[in-house]
């Protein structure tokens, strides 16, 4: 600024010469140590450029003399976490499913580990809360098509259902309508009978006719009383749970065209300890037998 120093009359302090609506800005001096602190921070910045990764280059960056890398730090942190988990994972690998459930520590670990594995691998079909949806079983309830013991659940997760694995769980219900085993009316009658098994209101005459067809065509797998057979993967038809819906139209559709849901085998895709944790997790959701 070219003009002379102006001293404010009231405070005795020099002004900057800036004026707004008659108010002048005082040029109050800073303490000198403040200036030195400022120089120190500048020096710090220069040193930081030398010591730490700082400047982007065309295809890389200045690495800094101590070679710090946040990527490496992440890798170390992850390695530490894996090392901390390894203690439990080793024990889970050695333990049987029963032993895991009976050991409070391992149970907590398996439920947490199984829960996150479920969210990543299973929730796409079964839902985040494992409540399923039409065609995808609810894993919280006490109804199991292929068995709800720890072993049975473990087996299902390992090899899947109608998967391409050799040891997959497999069955096939005939498409009674499409393959013309039963005619339209017969399918309707069987549907009436199946609905009556779980206490739904139905046409008694139709149900009576359907019961005879059921004994002939369906009882082999679903049982005389319709309670199903977990060894064959034949659902219990007498309970309140319907995988493909419990309306007459849904049941008719199932009988006429059959259903064949598919679950992939997870062995080979997930390691053994993860599958064990998944089995424990699913078993602990509330329906485990």
Partner 1 sequence: MVDQAVVQDATAKPADKREGVERSDAEPVNKKERRSLYQKRIKIYPRLARGGFRRLKWGVMAVTLAIYYLTPWIRWDRGPNAPDQAVLIDFPGRRFYFFFIEIWPQEVYYLTGLLILAAIGLFLVTSLAGRVWCGYTCPQTVWTDLFIAVERFFQGDRASRIRMDKMPWTGNKVWRKAATHVTWVVIAAGTGGAWVFYFADAPTLAQQLVTFDAPAVAYVTIATLTFTTYLLGGLAREQVCTYMCPWPRIQGGLLDEESLVITYHEDRGEPRGARKKGTHPTELGDCIDCNQCVAVCPMGIDIRDGQQLECITCALCIDACNGVMDKVGLPRNLISYDTLANVERVRAGEKPRLRLIRPRTLIYTGIIALVTLIMLFTLVTRSDLDVNILRDRNPLFVTLSDGSIRNGYTVKIINKQHAERHFTLAVEGLPGASIDIVGNDVTAADLQVDPDDLESYRVFVSAPRDSLEDDSLDLRFLITDKADGTRVTYDSVFRGPK
> Token pair 């079964």 is at which residue?
126
CB 288 within 8 A of CB 148: yes
Instruction: Provide the residue count of the chain.
Output: 289
Strand partners, 20: 23
- Report if residue 239 touches partner 1, rule: CB under 8 A: yes
CA proximity to 254, closest of 161, 140, 174: 174
Virtual torsion, Cα 251, 253, 259, 261, nearest 10 deg: -80
Instruction: Closer to partner 1 by CB, 29 or 67: give it.
Output: 29
- Alpha carbons 140 and 287: distance in angstroms, whole number: 5
Count the site residues for partner 1 by CB under 8 A. 34
> Token pair 């910045």 is at which residue?
45
Task: Mark the segment that binds partner 1 (CB under 8 A) among 151-159, 166-174, 181-189, 281-289.
Answer: 281-289
Q: Could you say which of 1, 2, 12, 164 contacts partner 1 (CB under 8 A)? A: 12
Q: How far is the CB of 80 from partner 1 (least distance, A)?
A: 17
CA proximity to 150, closest of 107, 119, 116: 107
- Report if residue 133 touches partner 1, rule: CB under 8 A: no
Q: How far is the CB of 288 from partner 1 (least distance, A)?
A: 9
Instruction: Closer to partner 1 by CB, 112 or 220: give it.
Output: 112
- Report if residue 250 touches partner 1, rule: CB under 8 A: no
Task: Mark the segment that binds partner 1 (CB under 8 A) among 45-53, 66-74, 123-131, 252-260.
Answer: 123-131
Instruction: Closer to partner 1 by CB, 137 or 188: give it.
Output: 137
- Report if residue 94 touches partner 1, rule: CB under 8 A: no
- Report if residue 27 touches partner 1, rule: CB under 8 A: yes
Going along 160-235, which residue ranges are E strands?
A: none
Which residues 6+ apart lie within 8 Å of 163 measured at CB? 262, 263, 264, 265
- Report if residue 28 touches partner 1, rule: CB under 8 A: yes
Q: Could you say which of 6, 18, 35, 179 contacts partner 1 (CB under 8 A)? A: 35
Sign of the dihedral defined by the CA atoms of residues 219, 220, 222, 227, in that order: positive
> Token pair 């359907």 is at which residue?
210
Binding site for partner 1 (CB under 8 A): 11-14, 27-35, 101-102, 104, 107, 127-131, 138, 140-143, 236, 239-241, 284, 286-287
């Amino acid at each position: 600024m070219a003009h002379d120093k102006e001293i404010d009359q009231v405070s005795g302090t020099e002004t900057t010469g800036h004026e707004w609506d008659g108010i002048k800005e005082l040029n109050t001096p800073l303490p000198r140590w403040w200036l030195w602190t400022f120089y120190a921070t500048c020096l710090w910045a220069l040193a930081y450029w030398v010591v730490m990764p700082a400047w982007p280059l065309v295809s890389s960056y200045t690495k800094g003399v101590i070679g710090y890398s946040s990527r490496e730090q992440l890798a170390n942190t992850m390695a530490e976490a894996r090392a901390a988990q390894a203690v439990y994972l080793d024990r889970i690998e050695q333990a049987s499913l029963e032993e895991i459930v009976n050991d409070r520590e391992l149970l907590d670990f398996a439920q947490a580990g199984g829960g996150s594995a479920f969210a990543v691998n299973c929730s796409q079909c079964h839902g985040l809360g494992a409540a399923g949806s039409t065609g995808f079983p609810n894993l919280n309830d006490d109804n199991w098509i292929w068995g709800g013991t720890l072993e049975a659940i473990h087996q299902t997760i390992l090899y899947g259902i109608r998967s391409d694995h050799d040891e997959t769980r497999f069955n096939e219900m005939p498409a009674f309508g499409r393959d013309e085993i039963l005619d339209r009316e017969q399918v309707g009658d069987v549907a009436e009978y199946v609905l009556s098994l779980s206490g739904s209101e139905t046409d008694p005459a139709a149900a009576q006719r359907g019961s005879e067809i059921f004994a002939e065509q369906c009882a082999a797998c679903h049982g005389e009383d319709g309670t199903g057979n977990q060894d064959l993967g034949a659902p219990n038809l007498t309970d309140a749970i319907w995988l493909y819906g419990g309306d007459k139209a849904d049941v008719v559709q199932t009988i006429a065209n059959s259903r064949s849901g598919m679950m992939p085998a997870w062995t080979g895709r997930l390691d053994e300890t993860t599958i064990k944790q998944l089995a424990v997790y699913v078993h602990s959701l509330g329906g485990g037998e």
